[in-house]
């Protein structure tokens, strides 16, 4: 049944079919919940095989739940044409070229009036997919294979990490069978898959106290998506002063070098302008932001997103910094990789709580970290956030308050329950 649903999502489903999606969501969520309930009885090899088949089911499909792939291939096509995607918006590019491939991609590209926001390693994947073929489906298959290879690496690293930490290897199935992970990576081609591979490498090298390679891996995560930078302060405080300096130096040097190697000054200009527009204009599935916005409407009579959204992110950043640095060095010896994974779950959750945009794939790192940590509310959240796909219509997207309640209220209750039931949580 689950395999059939993935096939239907990949080849027949259109995301405005709300009733159909809700039926799919119920089956996928209940199946995943049942597997997690019976986790200790599952055969690791058999269910890893099943999870691989679920992913391969999407091989020849065009993503139906998300249209982000148009932007991925748009950026890759620009690189192949010698155009820096950070230098111009899609609309500006189309005004200067009649390239038929770009004209076809432009129809599905979101954010036609702002430059790309994807970092260099993500861009490298886009470039490879677009360079391999000008045919849309072939490019999608190449990009899907790149994502699959990163996920395969994550699988292998998680198994080794779980064995080293003396944790049940079947915990891998929390990640490999998770419907959000399967749909967003193999289905929708989101490059968070790159990030999770590099974060798994960070844990692997830290266990072995090879901090240079850990820093190298952390740089790879940042160059795939900038969000992992919020984990850096928490890593610094785990290391000695000398190792902290070396770690930060390697991360900063490699990150800057990676940016300069693939781009130029236009990268920073385009990234800053793109991110500024992104976080000051768009809203999707936020939590705390809607409370702030409601207060702003009551006081000013208009949407204060241009001022309040950046301020909320700054507040979130300060909270993240405080949580990262609040323990003295003398207490760090008691911390472990599971504790660090738990801390990163909390830090990323704070960031998402303060964001105006929380797409389903943003939860993927939380699912990954749950495999190594003790906090499990991300598993529930990963299923409930898929409800946001029920808001798509033939003409666009409509956000329903009931969906927000059904998503966030159970997660909040689960967080409170976990917090109260945990004997110790070193954050």
pLDDT digits (tens, 9 = 90+) for 37-56: 999 889 899 999 999 999 99
Do 126 and 72 contact (CB within 8 A), yes or no?
yes
User: Per-residue pLDDT for 333 more than 60?
Assistant: no
Spatial distance between the Cα atoms of 419 and 396, rounded to a whole number of angstroms: 38
pLDDT value at position 266?
56
DSSP state of 186: I
Least confidently predicted of 159-173, 298-312, 383-397 = 298-312
Spatial distance between the Cα atoms of 351 and 314, rounded to a whole number of angstroms: 10
User: Per-residue pLDDT for 211 more than 80?
Assistant: yes
Spatial distance between the Cα atoms of 143 and 187, rounded to a whole number of angstroms: 11
pLDDT value at position 332?
47
Q: What is the mean pLDDT of the chain?
A: 87
Residue carrying the six token digits 């970092």: 119
Least confidently predicted of 200-209, 303-312, 399-408 = 303-312
Q: Which two tokens stand for residue 91?
A: 């609309």
Greater pLDDT, 356 or 426: 356
* Helix/strand number for the chain, H first, E second: 21, 2
Output the CA torsion sign for 95, 101, 103, 108.
Answer: negative
User: Per-residue pLDDT for 334 more than 60?
Assistant: no
Greater pLDDT, 59 or 275: 59
In our burial notation (b when 16+ CB lie closer than 10 A, e otherwise), range 65-76 reads bbebbbbbbbbb
Output the CA torsion sign for 390, 55, 69, 12.
Answer: negative
Q: Where are the alpha helices (DSSP H) in 17-88?
A: 18-37, 44-56, 68-80
Mean pLDDT of 238-250: 78
Spatial distance between the Cα atoms of 229 and 235, rounded to a whole number of angstroms: 10
Do 369 and 377 contact (CB within 8 A), yes or no?
no
**C-alpha dist (Å) from residue 289 to 310, 338, 401:** 11, 30, 13
Spatial distance between the Cα atoms of 401 and 390, rounded to a whole number of angstroms: 12
Spatial distance between the Cα atoms of 370 and 367, rounded to a whole number of angstroms: 5
Q: Which two tokens stand for residue 339?
A: 């504790």
Q: Which of 98, 72, 117 is nearest to 267 (CA)?
A: 117
Least confidently predicted of 159-168, 188-197, 260-269 = 260-269
Spatial distance between the Cα atoms of 259 and 12, rounded to a whole number of angstroms: 39
- 423 — pLDDT class (breaks 50, 70, 90): very low
pTM listed for this prediction: 0.92
Q: Where are the alpha helices (DSSP H) in 225-363?
A: 232-236, 241-262, 265-281, 288-300, 305-325, 337-353
Do 32 and 38 contact (CB within 8 A), yes or no?
no
Length of the chain as a residue count: 427
The kind and range of the H/E element at 397 are: strand 396-397
| Domain coordinates in residue numbering, the chain | 2-421
Do 53 and 186 contact (CB within 8 A), yes or no?
no
Q: Which of 85, 83, 55, 58 is nearest to 71 (CA)?
A: 85
Please return the burial class of 252, using the count of CB atoms within 10 Å of its CB with bins 0-12, 13-18 and 19+. Answer: middle
Non-local CB neighbours of 295 within 8 Å, separated by 6+ positions: none
Task: Enumerate the β-bridge partners of residue 357.
Answer: 284
Greater pLDDT, 361 or 395: 361
- For residue range 214-238, list pLDDT tens digits in order: 999 999 999 999 899 999 988 877 7
pLDDT value at position 426?
42
Do 231 and 344 contact (CB within 8 A), yes or no?
yes
Mean pLDDT of 107-113: 86
Spatial distance between the Cα atoms of 158 and 310, rounded to a whole number of angstroms: 35
pLDDT value at position 425?
42
């Amino acid at each position: 049944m689950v395999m059939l649903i993935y096939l239907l999502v990949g080849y027949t489903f259109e995301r405005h079919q709300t009733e159909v999606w809700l039926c799919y969501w119920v089956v996928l969520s209940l199946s995943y919940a049942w597997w997690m309930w019976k986790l200790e009885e599952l055969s690791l090899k058999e269910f890893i095989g099943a999870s691989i088949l679920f992913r391969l089911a999407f091989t020849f499909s065009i993503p139906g739940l998300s249209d982000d792939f148009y932007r991925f291939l748009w950026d890759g096509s620009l690189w192949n044409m010698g155009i820096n995607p950070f230098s111009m918006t899609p609309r500006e590019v189309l005004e200067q070229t009649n390239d038929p491939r770009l004209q076809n991609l432009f129809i599905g590209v979101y954010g036609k009036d702002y430059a790309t926001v994807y970092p260099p390693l993500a861009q490298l994947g886009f470039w490879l997919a677009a360079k391999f073929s000008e045919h849309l489906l072939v490019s999608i298959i190449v990009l899907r294979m790149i994502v699959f290879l990163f996920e395969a690496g994550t699988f292998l690293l998680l198994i080794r990490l779980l064995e080293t930490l003396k944790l049940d290897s079947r915990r891998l199935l929390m990640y490999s069978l998770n419907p959000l992970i399967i749909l967003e990576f193999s289905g929708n081609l989101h490059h968070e898959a790159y990030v999770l591979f590099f974060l798994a490498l960070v844990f692997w090298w830290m266990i072995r106290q090879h901090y240079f390679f850990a820093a190298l891996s952390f740089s790879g995560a940042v160059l795939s998506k900038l969000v992992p930078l919020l984990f850096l302060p928490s890593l610094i405080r785990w290391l000695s002063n000398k190792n902290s300096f070396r770690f930060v130096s390697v991360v900063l040097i490699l990150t800057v070098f990676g940016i300069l190697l693939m781009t130029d000054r236009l990268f920073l200009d385009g990234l800053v302008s793109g991110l500024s527009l992104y976080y000051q204009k768009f809203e999707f599935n936020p939590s705390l932001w809607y409370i702030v916005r409601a207060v702003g409407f009551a006081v000013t009579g208009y949407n204060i997103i241009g001022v309040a959204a950046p301020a909320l992110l700054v507040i979130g950043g300060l909270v993240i910094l405080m949580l990262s640095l609040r323990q003295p060095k003398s207490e760090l010896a008691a911390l472990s990789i599971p504790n660090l994974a738990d801390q990163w779950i909390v830090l990323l959750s704070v960031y998402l709580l303060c964001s105006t945009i929380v797409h389903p794939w943003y939860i993927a790192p939380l699912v990954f970290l749950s495999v190594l940590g003790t906090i499990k509310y991300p598993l529930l959240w990963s299923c409930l956030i898929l409800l946001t796909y029920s808001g798509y219509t033939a003409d666009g997207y409509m956000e329903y308050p009931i969906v927000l309640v059904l998503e966030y209220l159970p997660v909040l209750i689960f967080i409170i329950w976990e917090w109260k039931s945990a004997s110790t949580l070193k954050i």
